[in-house]
Structure 1
């Protein structure tokens, strides 16, 4: 493919996107970005379109993203986690984004999979349901049966989707550059980092084998826990374009009527689900990033099955410890600690912001007196992120999925149990983490690490001493000390000595000339009076030089 052939589809795609955005009332923004009406398709704008239908700007944005296709639906879903950047009404609309796409005939899906596996699907499965169970923007889900009789689901990637998404990512990267040039103030939100995080996420989601690796990693974390399950993977037929997992025969997480009819204890399910997600986040540090009701099934004995691990989050140990410190800063009424962590997360430079600390102190005072059951985690998160928006602070990308998981879990828990208390559910794990960080085992581990480092230094000491002594014997041992402050002191002393010397010369000239002038009545050699006048003149010049030098150094 030539360069021109590669650019032409991108330009056609750009025309499609500009047309959709203009139809939903974003023409002014397009004009400012340099995308004039020449990109619009003829007849694409109709009277009475979305910008004049009484829709809010958030609703128009959501509809535009849905019409622009899978890349932008996924982008909107990722942006719905950025409650630190957008107002609640925009977040609410973005959370409504769903993969409303037409289904693809199974024959088209099968062609790409069979090319990847090297054999017909009919030779692998005893039965395949050609009618999809679900259709997303990236993949479709079909039921099937193995020759052994086991029921499975086939998640198959839509043909050609990678080409579309890669083209959209190129256009988005260009759009970010244009936006930064037109609106420099958005740089504080790190749009390139957001786009990089999105690109990594959507590329990982296109690799359906990666989703299964995520599922198995989460499953390993629950090996010693009862009541939590992840469908097993059939790796023999899993590849980048298709994964095969056991089919879950349970009650969908959103069907609470069926759950009650089956005699399930919804309070017990809420507690178990919260414990599972908090365990993933705070202890395993690898978690399901979207634990809503659509990604959960209920089994007898109040057991849960988590599905769909295309979107996962990872929390570094350092970030997890910072999160624990933040929560305990609120509990201990330490607004300075909370402010410092938020500013560190946002990468804020410069002086501290006293007004931010004052507002955080007010927030802590407002929630501190409430009983723990009266605290609403979702409202707390939105309050804190609203403070961050006010002070132009943004969360780092690796924490946005964490916030999304917390809010999703809190909402799902309250649907199952109106009295669900996320804070109370998190408290035992937080206390355990604090104990692990500061308890006897942590102190012993720190002492052990220090002892090991000391032992390594002691083992290296004889060799290092041998090298030093050998260099001394050869006369090659030297020391280099660079102390800027000592150099400044020496320079100051040099200047002082110069001033002192000049002052002595001026004083000598003045005294000498005065003696000569006083003796002018005596029998002196010819011209000595003139010499005395030159001495006075030199003393005046030297005094002026001395004064100017002292004044100049004082200004420096």
Structure 2
């Protein structure tokens, strides 16, 4: 904290200027707040943070907070739609910096001036953002490339803001119920990892190469190659792709492109990434998909990539198939497996909400079901039921929403579900393949071996914890009622059984000792005794059944 005093002061001033005094206190920034002439602010009270105020605050705080706002705009599983819509208006576009600064970064990282590395280097940027700036260039061998250069000083500034944002998030989570409910600390940690990765251009370069290798055999798809000799952490040089933006319907028609076929091919490409590759382009907006003269789809900008584990992919596929088949139970169970609850789960309420979604879709033509509506409904269910949805699934739903919109623009008859469901069903049918189960068996064997080696360590820590703290058992009051009723019933039967046993023993002794004296009355006495015992035994048998009653209470 001592090294960031000035930045803390700036953040406190921005919050107070936007009327967020209580939030500033909850964020641990009270000492830097200006003197309040209008009275005392209770730090325990939450501010009325309206969407427009939140957007303005992020804008005022600069690059890191704008990007954090953009990340939050996708979290409809955590935030109300009004906030996500408002945060979606944030943009990190900035004016270009002087080309001399760009040249200095290239020289520092690659050890030579742009004039030595490239046959030509366009001094006018073709794109600029808060972190990097893009220039067109030509390699010495005549190939056209684009060069993305990270702006100088960005890392230090972003690193400082991320450290402060993490500290603020921890304070907010401790002092505010709202920020605690959404798990703001985890959101900030997740955002920090993504932003740090975005600033390292070698990560994007490797992702681009990986997608290029996967689609190398498909001539309908063009992924740019990386020129590693002129690339580094701060400089990324890749093939320059040219073509018509995928949403420019007029230009596509002028070139005679079959838009129906293009919509299907674009969708198939992105779904193959999800269901086959396990990684997907998380931002396939129209500016990142270029249609080349021969109809090839060029894909650029792999700075945002989503990742799917095999389990996540299977559960997502189950949700898709369950929705397609109108099966609320399948959708609900797969949703819980994909997004574990953050607290107690009301499965009945979850199934009711899922049934509501399916009812809203029932009877509608597939072309009328928009992915944006389905996604928003699903996010609302996740938010209401407090399910912890993985960030990559959020990216996936966003990607599918973008694809659905592009497909409809290219072809009004396009239905994403027509393309999506066969992929999902094919994935689930793989579970009938013996090779699938052989793979699962290998995984289970490895897990068992790893668990067996770690078990002694876990057991030792468990014993140490028990010795130190003991065991706490938490029960709610309503949970005691069935238990008390059960114990009372067992006690009743136990006491009655003891009485009956005493009667049997005593009666037997009396009969044996007085058989001669009772004479002909011995038989009736014995019969009456057995009748009492039979009635008592019947009572015990009846009350011992699950549906029996003791003292008028249900078992």
- Tell me which interval the TM-score lies in, with the shorter structure as reference length: 0.7 to 0.9
2:70 is the alignment partner of 1:70:
no
2:244 is the alignment partner of 1:261:
no
Q: Deviations over 1:79-99 (max 9, x none)?
A: 122121122232222222222
2:390 is the alignment partner of 1:399:
no
Counterpart residue number, 1:481: none
List aligned pairs for 1:338-487, cutoff 5 A.
338-348=331-341, 349-350=343-344, 352-438=346-432, 442-446=433-437
TM-score, reference length from structure 2: 0.73
List aligned pairs for 1:73-472, cutoff 5 A.
73-348=66-341, 349-350=343-344, 352-438=346-432, 442-446=433-437
Gaps of 5+ in 2: 37-48, 449-493, 510-555
CA positional deviation for 1:301 = 2.9
CA positional deviation for 1:277 = 0.8
Q: Deviations over 1:187-207 (max 9, x none)?
A: 343323222221111111101
> Do 1:139 and 1:155's aligned partners in 2 also have CA atoms closer than 8 Å?
yes
Secondary structure class of the residue paired with 1:420? coil
Larger-Rg structure: 1
CA positional deviation for 1:168 = 0.8
Cα distance in 2 between the residues matched to 1:270 and 1:357: 34
Q: Deviations over 1:11-54 (max 9, x none)?
A: 21222233333334434422443434844599xxxxxxxxxxxx
Q: Deviations over 1:37-75 (max 9, x none)?
A: 844599xxxxxxxxxxxxx93233223323322212221
Secondary structure class of the residue paired with 1:301? coil
Q: Deviations over 1:110-164 (max 9, x none)?
A: 2222122122222111211111111111100011111222221110001011111
Cα distance in 2 between the residues matched to 1:408 and 1:237: 33
Gaps of 5+ in 1: 1-5, 43-55, 458-495, 512-556
Instruction: Decide whether aligned partners of structure 1 residues 399 and 111 sit closer, same or farther in structure 2, where only a CA change above 3 A counts.
Output: same
Instruction: Decide whether aligned partners of structure 1 residues 37 and 260 sit closer, same or farther in structure 2, where only a CA change above 3 A counts.
Output: farther
> Do 1:19 and 1:41's aligned partners in 2 also have CA atoms closer than 8 Å?
no
TM-score, reference length from structure 1: 0.73
C-alpha RMSD of the superposition: 3.1
> Do 1:126 and 1:146's aligned partners in 2 also have CA atoms closer than 8 Å?
yes
Q: Deviations over 1:236-285 (max 9, x none)?
A: 11110001011112123443333333332332222211111111111111
2:11 is the alignment partner of 1:14:
no
Secondary structure class of the residue paired with 1:144? strand
CA positional deviation for 1:167 = 0.6
Cα distance in 2 between the residues matched to 1:327 and 1:70: 37
> Do 1:193 and 1:397's aligned partners in 2 also have CA atoms closer than 8 Å?
no
CA positional deviation for 1:405 = 1.1
Cα distance in 1 between the residues matched to 2:18 and 2:408: 35
CA positional deviation for 1:293 = 0.8
> Do 2:324 and 2:421's aligned partners in 1 also have CA atoms closer than 8 Å?
no
List aligned pairs for 1:455-534, cutoff 5 A.
none
> Do 1:66 and 1:72's aligned partners in 2 also have CA atoms closer than 8 Å?
yes
After superposing the two structures, state which structure 1 stretch, 87-96 or 442-451, moved more. 442-451
Question: What is the aligned length?
Answer: 442
CA positional deviation for 1:330 = 2.1
Counterpart residue number, 2:23: 29
